[in-house]
């Protein structure tokens, strides 16, 4: 099984019926979401969106706790 990046992990969460699923769907509609990078890249991406930050942090924590997350 290949190691997932954060964007790939998020794509797999779109089926969920919770806030992470809604967040994943919203991110999937964005054309400028970074396809790779570490937490600092995504922290910077969401720093101007306070409404999304809490859900992003929760999503990152779940991603980070998943087996073998890819972190450059």
pLDDT in tens, 17-56: 999 999 999 999 999 999 988 999 999 999 999 999 999 9
Question: pLDDT tens digit string along 52-70?
Answer: 999 999 999 999 988 754 5
The pLDDT of residue 68 is: 59
Residue 1 lies in a domain: no
Residue 60 lies in a domain: yes
Residue 41 lies in a domain: yes
Residue 16 lies in a domain: yes
Cβ atoms of residues 69 and 3 within 8 Å: yes
Look up the pTM and report it: 0.85
Query: Which residues form the domain of 19?
Result: 6-65
Which tokens belong to 8?
């790939």
Number of domains in the chain: 1
Residue 58 lies in a domain: yes
């Amino acid at each position: 099984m290949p190691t997932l990046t954060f964007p790939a992990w998020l794509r797999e969460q779109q089926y969920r019926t919770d806030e992470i699923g809604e967040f994943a769907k919203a991110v999937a509609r964005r054309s400028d979401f970074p396809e790779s990078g570490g937490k600092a890249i995504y922290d910077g991406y969401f720093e101007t969106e306070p409404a999304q930050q809490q859900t992003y942090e929760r999503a990152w924590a779940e991603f980070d706790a998943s087996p073998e997350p890819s972190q450059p």
